[in-house]
Structure 1
């Protein structure tokens, strides 16, 4: 009855679904009367991506996003756009049934930042930082990376076989760099395997550079000991 999609900077691969494919999914959803649940939490990092599914099919798309991935990790505030009709009240009743009185401080801060322009300023600075980190990763890891769909994406994809990915993560960990466990973001290993590199996890670019050199050494089968989390 419903399809969950992350069309812009899909996690873990960082790929962006093209306009043609989005149109095909919308046409199929209309033909089969399916609801679309669109996760657009990384959309701010890909301003040139095709229009969201919510723009193409507003009558059947639930558009989900938030600010913890774009403005501040500790700001746990999200938002949801629903199709026309009585869905707003229905969703509100469902949310109240699960969490009638969630903390309101985060939502208040996020709302104020969006209204007064602070959110736009922070988002621009975050994109600039991620773009610099992306350039650093591409310089150090080069062809081992899958070409990024956006030069300001917050994570990168190293495609490889499942066993090779596990070995890479193990070698990097022994040298001091902790990677996302290869199996953690993969639903079905037969479809896609590899290692995701999170560019935002390191405290600063110096830590990130040390971690990337560890990954490069692990890919080459050599040793480079340091301490980093990516």
Structure 2
């Protein structure tokens, strides 16, 4: 029982650190993570980090994995509750915009911060970020393909192209909402994807009008 209790406390400590690391990285990037500051914010000693990770890179790699898990819980899982097809595709976009609008992360988007940071920096962290981004775009594309197979989107739709457009509009909403008009940024990002999908949809009534 004592050993199990220690293991549980260790797991909780690990998760607390990762959640805080992702939060800070959304503002400062992964390279900008200071172990000292992270330790101070959580209230543990720096030596406490080395009970979980051998070095900063190991922490960075697990932070990417944690961000993927957070993204799945807040965006992918809620979207999958919508009916398969075009409604699920649009629900995914709406869930993403809601994640940003609710300021789950202080910097808006972990992945937007780190992809700009690591796009020209080869190494293990870049590889992990690339895989996460690849999996995300592949998931959007799979929903487009599903909607086409169900006959809800035109068969001439290029799934990779449409997935790219949806991803680009979701991503653009982050800096626009923080630097310009927040409400307008989310409204435009939502409306543009909605209009695009309605224009390609065999039955536009499946989607909201606005």
Q: By the TM > 0.5 criterion, same fold?
A: no
Please report the TM-score for the alignment, with normalisation by the length of structure 1. 0.25
More helix by share: 2
More strand by share: 1
Please report the TM-score for the alignment, with normalisation by the length of structure 2. 0.27
- Relative contact order: is structure 1 or structure 2 higher (C-alpha 8 Å, sep ≥ 6)? 2
